[in-house]
Amino acid sequence: MKACQRIGPYEMFMTKIFFPLCYPKILGFTVVLFVATVVVGCSYKIPAVPPAGSAPRTGSPVPTPGIPPSSDSGTKVVEKSFVEPGTSQTITHEVAPLETIWRISKMYGVSLDAIYAANSLKPGDPIYQGQKLIIPNAKGFRNIIPLYPNSRWKYIVIHHTATDVGKAYLIHRTHLDRGFWNGLGYHFLIDNGTLGKGDGQIEAAPRWIKQQTGAHCNSGGMNEKGIGIALVGNFNEELPTEKQLQSLIYLVKTLCQYYHIPAGHIIGHRDAPGANTECPGKRFPLATVRQSLDRP
């Protein structure tokens, strides 16, 4: 009997997840439960087709990816230093789902022209998920949070991925492979420092950029009215890292202030009416996140 044989970071991750499938006679039905927990992170089946009424309810146009938001659209971009500026260095950046040169330039404080030149690109040239870009003279890193006028968002629903490692690109591909419509079901992902991402790095998912309904918590209609935020990690077994928690609190504060979401509407997936899950984990400090809204 052959074990799974794949190469590359994505394939290595998938092999780690699906290794039990090579031995179905040994593990039996528990394989299905293990895969569902690790890949999806939460015990929720995401529909294969978009639900009715998934278009955003907003008085402003849906933002166009790649085009900097204009002041008259009502869109706002919030930035916070994630890694303090230091000695300039050239780094390699992997393009995440729906990421743009404009967004990447804001993240690293490097001009558009410098990124174009370092990668032999011209303005308007497409970039692709998973593409490696050279970022010259990067001094630091900023978490970029775009905010769009939208009356839909009434709750914030927090999840964990229930995995040791992860990043938006990987989870997006995994969700697509499993037939989830539009891939990554969350609106934001907060990384834990694995797979080349920073500890506490906030990744805005395509669903957020397009202001689409989520595919993260069907219970209580939270896909329609709840902003889904997932943290990489298994918080039944461990706590979020300090930087993850700092980034989560900053993100939650920013979203609550902009969308007027009260502290009582910050919930874990398990708290949604009718939910049958432990997500975001028994050890997740939800009370700490809620209390943070009372602090400046």
Task: Tell me: do 280 and 174 sit in the same domain.
Answer: yes
Give the burial class of 161: count Cβ atoms within 10 A of its Cβ; 0-12 exposed, 13-18 middle, 19 or more buried.
buried
Q: Per residue in 93-109, pLDDT tens?
A: 999 998 999 999 999 99
- Closest residue by Cα to residue 94 from 63, 62, 132: 132
Residue 79 domain-assigned?
A: no
Average pLDDT of the chain?
Answer: 79
CB atoms within 10 A of CB 122: 7
Helices 168-177 and 9-18: crossing angle in degrees, nearest 10, is 60
pLDDT at 178: 80
Residue 130 domain-assigned?
A: yes
Chain centroid, CA 285 distance in Å: 19
pLDDT at 183: 84
In the chain, the number of structural domains is: 3
- What would the mean pLDDT of 2-31 be, rounded to a whole number? 38
The answer to whether 172 touches 296, Cβ cutoff 8 Å, is no
Task: Tell me: do 210 and 273 sit in the same domain.
Answer: yes
Task: Tell me: do 92 and 203 sit in the same domain.
Answer: no
Residue 222 domain-assigned?
A: yes
- What would the mean pLDDT of 185-197 be, rounded to a whole number? 94
The answer to whether 121 touches 114, Cβ cutoff 8 Å, is no
Task: Tell me: do 186 and 105 sit in the same domain.
Answer: no
- Closest residue by Cα to residue 257 from 76, 62, 106, 65: 76
Q: What is the CATH number of the domain that holds 211?
A: 3.40.80.10
Task: Tell me: do 244 and 178 sit in the same domain.
Answer: yes
pLDDT at 88: 85
Range of lowest pLDDT (16-25, 116-125, 198-207, 240-249): 16-25
Q: What range defines the domain where residue 120 resides?
A: 85-139
* Reported confidence tier of residue 33, pLDDT bands at 50, 70, 90: very low
pLDDT at 17 over 50: no
pLDDT at 82 over 90: no
- What would the mean pLDDT of 198-208 be, rounded to a whole number? 94
Task: Tell me: do 129 and 159 sit in the same domain.
Answer: no
- CA angle 248/48/33 to nearest 5° reads 70
pLDDT at 148 over 50: yes
pLDDT at 106: 92
Give the burial class of 86: count Cβ atoms within 10 A of its Cβ; 0-12 exposed, 13-18 middle, 19 or more buried.
exposed
* Reported confidence tier of residue 254, pLDDT bands at 50, 70, 90: very high
* Reported confidence tier of residue 85, pLDDT bands at 50, 70, 90: low
pLDDT at 67: 44
Chain centroid, CA 50 distance in Å: 19
pLDDT at 55: 39
Task: Tell me: do 118 and 168 sit in the same domain.
Answer: no
Please give the single-letter amino acid code of residue 142.
R
Q: How would you list the strands of the sheet with 155-160, edge to edge?
A: 199-204, 188-192, 226-231, 155-160, 266-268
Q: Per residue in 164-189, pLDDT tens?
A: 999 999 999 888 888 777 889 999 99
pLDDT at 179: 75
Q: What is the 3-state secondary structure (H, E, C) of the chain?
A: CCCCCCCCHHHHHHHHHHHHHHCHHHHCCHHHHHHHHHHHCCCCCCCCCCCCCCCCCCCCCCCCCCCCCCHHHCCEEEEEEEECCCCCEEEEEECCCCCCHHHHHHHHCCCHHHHHHHCCCCCCCCCCCCCEEEEEEECCEEEEEEECCCCCCCEEEEEECCCCCCCHHHHHHHHHHCCCCCCCCCCEEEEECCCCCCEEEEEECHHHHCCCCCCCCCHHHHHHHEEEEEECCCCCCCCCCHHHHHHHHHHHHHHHHHHCCCHHHEEEHHHCCCCCCCCCCCCCCHHHHHHHHHCC
* Reported confidence tier of residue 42, pLDDT bands at 50, 70, 90: low
Residue 66 domain-assigned?
A: no
pLDDT at 61 over 50: no
Strand partners, 156: 227, 266
Task: Tell me: do 252 and 211 sit in the same domain.
Answer: yes
